[in-house]
Structure 1
Amino acid sequence: MSTNVSTRAGRAAVSLSALAAGDAFGARLLEPDGAQAVRGRVLPPGPWEWTDDTEMACSVYAVLYRCGRVDQDALVAGFAAHYDALRGYHRATDHLLRSVRAGGDWRALAPAQFGGAGSWGSGAAMRVAPLGAWFADDVAEAARQAALSARVTHTHPDGVAGAVAVAVAAAVAARGDPLGSHEFLDEVLDHVPSGTVREGVADARALLISADPCAVAAELGCGELIGARDTVPFALWTAAKHHDDFPGALWAAAAAGVRAGGDLDTTCAIVGGVVGTRLPGGRLPEEWRRRTEPLPEWVPV
C-alpha cells in the first residue's frame, strides 16, 4: 500500500470507528434508560450495538480500501452481502437489498423507489463520513465520490445532497486545520447542490449563534422524518459547534434527539463520523471504545 493510500485509509478508519461509536451510542439511548443517561450526562452501560448505519459505512470503507474510489457495483454488492435485517434497515433499503440479493439490478431498483421519485432519506448521508475523510486532500473529489456512493440507493436530489454535505464536512474536518464554525459550514455550502438540504445547512449556519441544541433541533429537525433534509443540517450544526469535542458533540446531539425524538442513531452516526476525524491521536476516548461493539471482522482496518 502506498504512503498516500495508507494515510487515506488511516483517516477513514478513524472516522469509521467514531461513526460506529456515535451510531451505537445513539441506538443505546433509545432504550428506556436513555433519557436518564442524557439528563445526568452519564454514559449508559454497554455493550452498545451499532445499526445499519455502521454496517453500510463498513462497506463504503471496504470499497475505498480495495479500489481507492467508489465502484458502484462493488459497493452495492457489499451492501447486499453484509445485509443483516436485525440491524434496523429502513423498509425501502431492506427491499432494495433483498432484491439485489435475488438478482435485481440496483440501476433499475434505486430510481424506482417511492413511485419513481427515489429515496430522499438520510441513509446515504449516515454512512459517508469515512469517504469524506478518505478524500480530505481533495474536497471536490469527496463531493463527487459521495454523490456516486449515494445514487446506488438514494437517487432523489435530497438523498444525494445529504451525502455530499456530510462527506465534505468530514473532509474539511479531517484536514486538521484550525476551524471556525461559520467557515466550516461555508466550505460545506460551497459544494452542496441547491435544494432543501443546502437551504437547511444555510439555516444551520445562521443558527450557530445559539448554544441550545434542543432549540436548534426544533428549528431544523433532527431526523423525525428520517430524511436528509431534516437530519443533515442539525447534525452539521452540532459538528460545527463541537468540532474538537467528540463527547460534547454527541451529548449535544443526544440531548436534542431524546427530547424531540427522531432518528437518534443516525444523527449521532453522522456527528461521530465527522467530529471523530479530529480525535487526538486518532483514538476514541477509552470509555466510549470499551462500550461500543467492535467493527465486523471483514472490515480491513
Structure 2
Amino acid sequence: MELPPLPTVMFEPLVRAALVEDLGRAGDLTTDAVVPVGFPAELTLTARQQGVVAGLDVAALAFRLVDPAISMQVERPDGSVVGAGDVIASVSGPARGLLTAERTALNFLCHLSGIATATASIVEAVKGHKAQIVCTRKTTPGLRALEKYAVRAGGGSNHRFGLDDAILIKDNHIAIAGGVRSAIERARAHAGHMVKVEVEVDTLDQLEEVLALGADAVLLDNMAPAQLARAVEITAGRAITEASGRVTRETAPAIAASGVDLISVGWITHSAPVLDIGFDYSP
C-alpha cells in the first residue's frame, strides 16, 4: 500500500525552527567563507547500511527553505528498503545552500529512517501472525507526527496520537478513581460516542472484570506469552487485545503467537538508532 505523504504544513514549523537553531546569529560562517556564491553542485544521499527510508519530504524542505533553487530527485522513496551503497536521492542547486542545510536535513532523515528501520525489523519478526506493531506516545517532544509517520513507513501502525483521541485508563487512573468500575463508568459518561475506551490490566482477574464492564480494548501489561494466550482466550473477541511491556525483536514472535491483536512498542520511537546516510559531492 502506498504511503500517503504528510502535508507540508504539519512539519514546516519544525524544520524552520531547526534551521534557525543551526544558523544562529550569523549564518553559516564556514560555507560563506569557503564556497563561492552561485557555485552549482549536485550531492547524493546514499545509504551506508541496510534500512528503511523515511523523511525525504522533510529533508527536501530543509534544503528549499535555505535556497528555493535547490531541488531533490528521489530514487528510493519513503518506505523503501535500501542496502549499503544505494543512492536514495540526489540534491542539486547552489552549493552554499546545500551545505548550509545539510546537517538539519540529515538529522531529520537519519532519525526518521532509523525509526522506520526499527519498526520494520519487528514487523518482520511477527510476520505470519495477525498482530500489528503499534507505536506509543513515547516520542520526542515536538516530533510526534513525524515519528509516527516514520513508524508507518516501516510497516507499523499508530496507537493514539495524544491524550485527546482515545481514553486509556491505566493503574493510576484506577487507583485515584477508586476502582475499575468507577473509572470506566466515569469515562463512558465523559466520552462522546466516537471515543474508544481502553483499560490496562495486569492480571487475568482484572481482565475478567474489565470485559464485564464493556471496555473496547484491553492493554495486557507485561504478561508472559502463556498468560497472553490465556487472556486472548478469555477475551474471545469481545475487545481488542494489546500486548505491551519490554517488547524486543527477539521476544515479539512469541508475543504475537499468543494471538493478540496489537503489540505496542515504545523504543521504536524513543530509542531507535539512526540510519547512517551519507551526503557526498563528486566533482
Under a length normalisation based on structure 1, what TM-score does the superposition of the two structures give? 0.29
Higher strand share: 2
Which gives a bigger RCO, structure 1 or 2 (Cα 8 Å, sep 6+)?
1
Larger radius of gyration: 2
Give the helix-richer structure, 1 or 2: 1
- After TM superposition, the score normalised by the length of structure 2 is 0.30
